[in-house]
Structure 1
Amino acid sequence: MTDWLLALVPTYGLWLIAGTTFASCLALPIPASVIMLAAGGFAAAGDLVLWQVVVSALSGALAGDQVGYGAGRMGGGPFLDRIAKAPSRAKVVTKARSTMEAKGGIAVFLSRWLFSPLGPYVNVISGAMRHNWLRFTLWAALGEVVWCSLYVLMGRGFAGNLSAASDMLGSILGLVASGTAVLGLGWWLLLLARKEHAQRKARRGLSEAQD
């Protein structure tokens, strides 16, 4: 399927790019990232215009996010439960739900590009949990700008060498994910230290009051 879609990029260009990012944001098995890499390569060769490729990819992604959010908002919890019934989706839905509950808007942003398999489910969960639409849209838009720009520009930089571009992106995203995990752990430890300090201070004050 991937080879077939790649062959269509020069012919259908911008419409195909927008369609693939839209479908990807609805959890359909479409290789949107590969298509964007290829489109960046075609832009490097002069077959497509770079900014038009980025705008097309971004437009499809933003539309897909809104459809997912709207479906979750209209269907609510029961709709989300039906999605999670499929064994292949249960784990990722659970992970997306816990991530969304813990991190909110940041989870929306990171699930666009760093943890992209969670993205479609975070959209539905955001709608089902009645998260503020404007806040969701802003975080989603920021994340989609990173996703679309990163892949299209990387494809352009490697002039369509999908293997090299994919390897480089994998390394970059791996480092970013590791750094994010370390920062998250550091922040969690800092919060624990502050909480423990506050508890000790409260116990000390209570002890002094009793004396």
Structure 2
Amino acid sequence: MTDWLLAGLVSTGVPLLFVTTFLSCLMVPVPSSLMMLAAGAFAAGGDLPIISVVLASYLGAVLGDQTGYAAARLAQQPITRMMAHKAGAARMMTAATLRLSRNGSVTVFLTRWLMSPLGPYVNLAAGATGFSWSRFSLASAAGELVWVTIYAGLGWAFASNIEMVAELSGNITAALAAAFVAVLLGRMLLRAARHRH
């Protein structure tokens, strides 16, 4: 699928980038970060306009966040039930909800770029728990700007070494998200153990 999307980026360009970042914010497993890296590299080679790359990626991500938030706000019960039946999704949703209740806007901001695998779950948790739309929107818009700038910028700056940058950034993001979830679940277990005694 990744090869097909990257080939499509050459022929379709910016609209495919918009769709990819939009879908990634809705838990659709598409390689949006890799697509932005590639688009940045294509822009460095003169094949795509960098402003269009950044705008399409940014608008897709922000609209994806807003769609996830609105869907969870409108359908709290069905989404909660759906997440409860999938072990991995349930863990991510629990971690997102816990983090959101403690550090609201900071959590939304950081899960756009630093811990991006948690981002779609935070969108759902924010909508389902009634987190302030204005706070969510501001933090989301700021975080997505950082995400898009980092990935499109890395693609632009390191166009000749794009494979190495893609592998390194993917490994770092996955490790940070896994560590984040592990720490949150560990804290929950410690609290539960303390309450039993």
The alignment's TM-score, normalised by the length of structure 1, stands at 0.78
**Residue 136 of structure 2 aligns with which residue?**
136
- Separation (CA, whole Å) in 2 of partners of 1:103 and 1:172: 22
In the alignment, structure 1 segments of 5+ residues that lack a partner are 181-211
1:32 aligns to what? 32
Structure 1 residues 25 and 88, CA gap change in structure 2 (3 angstroms): same
What one-letter code is carried by the residue in structure 2 that aligns with 1:141? A
Change (3 A) 1:67 1:129: same
Separation in 2, partners of 1:104, 1:154: 29
1:94 Cα shift? 1.2
Q: Which residue of 2 aligns with 1:208?
A: none
- Count of residue pairs the alignment pairs up: 178
What amino acid is aligned across from residue 11 of structure 1 in structure 2?
S
1:72 corresponds to? 72
In structure 2, relative to structure 1, the CA distance for the partners of 1:171 and 1:28 (3 Å cut) is closer
3-state SS, counterpart of residue 28 of structure 1: coil
Corresponding residue for residue 166 of structure 2: 166
Aligned-residue Cα RMSD (Å) equals: 2.2
Q: State the one-letter code of the partner of 1:91.
A: R
Name the structure 2 match of 1:200: none
Task: Output the CA distance in 1 between the equivalents of 2:95 and 2:176.
Answer: 19
- Residue 145 of structure 1 aligns with which residue? 145
Bigger radius of gyration among the two? 1
| Pair 1:86-2:86 in alignment | yes
Please state how far the C-alpha of 1:170 moved relative to its aligned partner: 5.6
SS at match of 1:8: helix
After superposing the two structures, state which structure 1 stretch, 79-88 or 131-140, moved more.
79-88
When normalised by structure 2's length, the TM-score is 0.83
Q: Matches of 1:128 and 1:176 in 2, distance apart?
A: 25
Letter of the 1:81 partner, please give it. Answer: R
1:58 maps to which residue?
58
